[in-house]
Structure 1
Amino acid sequence: MNIEQARFNMIQQQVRPWNVLDDQILELLEEVKREDFCPAEHRDMAFMDLEIPIGHGQVMLTPRVQARLVQDLQLKPTDKVLQIGTGTGYMTALLASRSQQVQAFEIHPELVKQTADNLRKAGISNVDLRHGDGLAGALANGPYDAIVLCGSVPAIPHELQDKLATGGRLIGVVGHEPMMHVHLVTRANSGTFDTVKPWDVIIPRLEGFPEVSRFRF
Structure 2
Amino acid sequence: MSESARFNMVEAQIRTSNVTDPRILAAISAVAREKFVPSAARALAYADVPVAVAQGRYLLDPRSFAKLLNLAQVTATDRVLDVGCATGYSSAVMARMAAEVVALEQDADLVRIASELLATAVGKVEVVQGGLIEGVKGQGPFDVIFVNGAIEQVPETLLAQLAEGGRLVTVIKDGQSRAWLFLKQNGKIGQRPDFDADVPLLAGFKKAMGFIF
Q: TM-score, normalised by structure 1?
A: 0.89
Correspondence 1:26-175 to 2 at 5 A: 26-120=25-119, 122-124=120-122, 126-175=124-173
Higher relative contact order (CA 8 A, sep 6+): 2
Q: Secondary structure of 1:135's match? A: coil
- 1:24 aligns with 23
Q: Is the 8 A contact 2:133 2:155 kept in 1?
A: no
**Cα offset, 1:97, TM superposition:** 1.2
Q: Which runs of 5+ in 2 are unaligned?
A: none
Amino-acid identity (%): 33
Q: Paired residue for 1:201, among 190, 197, 201?
A: 197
Residues 82-111 of structure 1: CA distance to partner in whole angstroms, max 9, x if unpaired?
111011111011111111111121111111
Letter in 2 for 1:58: R
Residues 133-180 of structure 1: CA distance to partner in whole angstroms, max 9, x if unpaired?
022243454111110111111111234222211111110111245x11
1:4 aligns with 2:3: yes
- 2 CA distance for matches of 1:73 and 1:104? 16
- 2 CA distance for matches of 1:66 and 1:171? 11
**Cα offset, 1:183, TM superposition:** 1.0
**Cα offset, 1:27, TM superposition:** 1.5
- 1 CA distance for matches of 2:190 and 2:146? 16
Q: Is the 8 A contact 1:119 1:125 kept in 2?
A: no
- 2 CA distance for matches of 1:119 and 1:159? 26
Letter in 2 for 1:184: L
- 2 CA distance for matches of 1:125 and 1:74? 17
Q: Which runs of 5+ in 1 are unaligned?
A: none
- 2 CA distance for matches of 1:183 and 1:44? 30
Q: TM-score, normalised by structure 2?
A: 0.90
Task: Output the aligned Cα RMSD.
Answer: 1.8
Aligned positions, number: 209
- 1 CA distance for matches of 2:87 and 2:138? 24
**Cα offset, 1:129, TM superposition:** 0.8
- 1 CA distance for matches of 2:10 and 2:79? 27
- 1 CA distance for matches of 2:161 and 2:100? 16
Residues 17-73 of structure 1: CA distance to partner in whole angstroms, max 9, x if unpaired?
212111221111211111221212222221111211212232211111111111221
